């Protein structure tokens, strides 16, 4: 930090010095989460931006229940490269015929490596006539987007697409 940013701190006191001093004394340093993440290794995301694989698996299992996932019948449209990781367009559409006896009850969209993997949950009725949704999701890093659709009959349709992110959209 420079005196221009904080006149109360000496010019030579930087974030690195603060972190080193806190580590030496065992103190807990109150820096913003983004500063802590930046101070950590450049390859790993830490703190509140860290992936939550336990929550991801739990959400998938809850949605699937005892159903066997089917890879046909759900179309997922996501760009392979996210220009703006704060608002990545995602479109999910059930391509199976929608009838009075068989319709999509629910679609969820998951970002596998986000701190909160469930990005969207949409519910439908037989009167909807179609099952499709377009949303924008925020991505914390390069990862796979998953979409799952539960049909009235109990079938669960799944689709996924890898998305490359240039910079983090979470914590910006």
Which domains, from first to last, does the chain contain?
Answer: 50-165 (2.60.40.2470)
Round to whole Å and give the CA distance between 54 and 172.
24
Round to whole Å and give the CA distance between 2 and 18.
13
Round to whole Å and give the CA distance between 119 and 78.
14
Beta strands in 24-111 (DSSP E): 69-70, 74-78, 81-82, 88-94, 104-111
Round to whole Å and give the CA distance between 33 and 86.
17
pTM above the 0.85 mark?
no
Residue pLDDT, tens place only, 79-107: 999 989 999 999 999 999 999 899 999 99
Residue pLDDT, tens place only, 27-50: 444 434 443 344 333 456 667 778
């Amino acid at each position: 930090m420079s005196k221009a940013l904080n006149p109360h701190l000496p010019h030579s006191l930087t974030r690195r010095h603060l972190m080193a001093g806190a580590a030496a004394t065992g103190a807990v340093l109150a820096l913003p989460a983004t500063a802590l993440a930046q101070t950590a290794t450049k390859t790993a995301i830490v703190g509140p931006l860290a992936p939550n694989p336990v929550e991801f698996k739990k959400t998938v299992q809850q949605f699937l229940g005892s159903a066997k996932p089917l890879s046909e019948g759900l179309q997922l449209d996501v760009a392979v490269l996210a220009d703006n990781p704060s608002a990545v367009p995602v479109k999910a559409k059930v391509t199976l015929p929608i009838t009075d006896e068989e319709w999509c009850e629910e679609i969820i969209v998951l970002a596998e490596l986000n701190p909160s993997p469930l990005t969207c949950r949409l519910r439908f009725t037989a009167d909807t006539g179609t099952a499709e949704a377009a949303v924008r999701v925020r991505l914390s890093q390069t990862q796979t987007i998953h979409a799952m659709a539960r049909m009235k009959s109990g079938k669960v349709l799944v689709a996924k697409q890898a998305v490359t992110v240039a910079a983090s959209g979470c914590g910006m």
